[in-house]
Homo-oligomer: A and B are copies of this chain.
């Protein structure tokens, strides 16, 4: 995985893990790799890996069981909520940007249709 230099690495990795969750590549309740393994997987500092689980735990996405490891939440509702939150953020950002660029809602829809036809 390549990192964008402008956004914090740990946030990029969290976003990556969330995507996997949402796309069901990681199943609810599944065990996540250890921080050491995570550090190896993403080629980052173990401190950074630890921070990632800490942040995700604070968000309720995963929880750490002492001596067992870190597990994804088994609440499918929470996963759905995450998905919705992510989508809402993406959409609001999109509409706000396009509006300042002078696009109407109609124009946005049109341009998405165009893209679809280009496939």
Contact = CB atoms under 8 A, between A and B. Distances in A.
A40 interface: no
Contacts of A113: 105, 109
A115 B91 contact: yes
Copies of this chain, whole number: 4
A1 interface: no
Interface residues of A, number: 33
Contact of A8 (B66, B103, B105, B109): B66
Nearest to A110: B109
Interface string A85-119: 01100110111011011110100110111011000
Nearest to A97: B90
Contact of A100 (B22, B98, B116): B22
